[in-house]
Amino acid sequence: MENTMLPRLIIEPAVRRALEEDLGLAGDITANAVIPAGHRSTVVMAARRPGVIAGLDAAELGFTLVDPSIVMTRHVEDGGRVDAGDIVATVTGPSRALLTGERTALNFLGHLSGIATVTAEVVAAVTGTKAQIVCTRKTTPGLRALEKYAVKAGGGGNHRFSLADAVLIKDNHIAIAGGIRPALQAAREHAGHMVKIEIEVDTLDQLREAMAEGADAVLLDNMSPQTLREAVEIVAGRAITEASGGITPETAGAVASAGVDLISIGWLTHSAPVLDIGLDYHAA
């Protein structure tokens, strides 16, 4: 994986919020009642099924924000593949703190690794084509940067991070603006010279109208592979082509073979199953 590590100032607020949510007003009353104050342990985080790892920095903060003396040793880095049974990391420190941070650490690691895993599956399905798999803004509120990072860890790319990144004229914008032409004309008048303008089209006639108005990119929504091939021919390299809508690992190859530049998939971030990663105790 390319160097896409997120800075701590992005990750830490999310982990702190998760810990605050978990600790409540009284803290971990179970660990504090059951475990002696001076007890130390070593635990391992191990994959229970194959996948691609992402979120180790967040997992580590899940422990060290509880107790800075905790040490986590990684046996794989983000973007690395694991098989069932592989040890992802070894964590050593005060037992109470390890147990307190366990769920937060595993929540982040499992969720982000799940996103990386499904992304890698779709990326593999389009191998040999020019298409890049990208995510969307369909992310968990407050976790967008982390989830988009996980897509990168799985070999994918990122679409807009926010509404301020680019103009993307969707079907409702078009309907309210009065059509493809007036929507694009208004966007062109409003946007600065550095801002790219993309527009969603559902038909080839809409695509021809968008190209006549000089769109920088076209989102080809819910089109069959055959229609996508025709769309790519109409565009003829004059704009970026993005396919979207109901694309799965089983259909991604056919969509990519149509010659599109991008395939955007919202479920990478909003519906990826968690990668099952467990925490097992070993005496210190």
SS3 call for 271: coil
DSSP result, 146-211:
HHHHHHHHTT-B---SSTTS-EEE-HHHHHHHTSHHHHHHHHHHHS-TT--EEEEESSHHHHHHHH
Separation of alpha carbons 150 and 57, rounded Å: 12
Contact partners, residue 139, CB within 8 Å, separation at least 6: 147, 148, 269, 270
The residue type at 244 = S
Sheet holding 277-283, edge to edge: 71-74, 87-94, 40-47, 277-283
Q: If phi over 0 gives left and psi between -120 and 50 gives alpha, with beta otherwise, what is residue 83?
A: beta
Kindly report the number of other CB atoms within 10 A of residue 7's CB atom: 9
Catalytic residues: 103, 138, 170, 200, 221
Give the integer Cα–Cα distance in Å for 28 and 9: 26
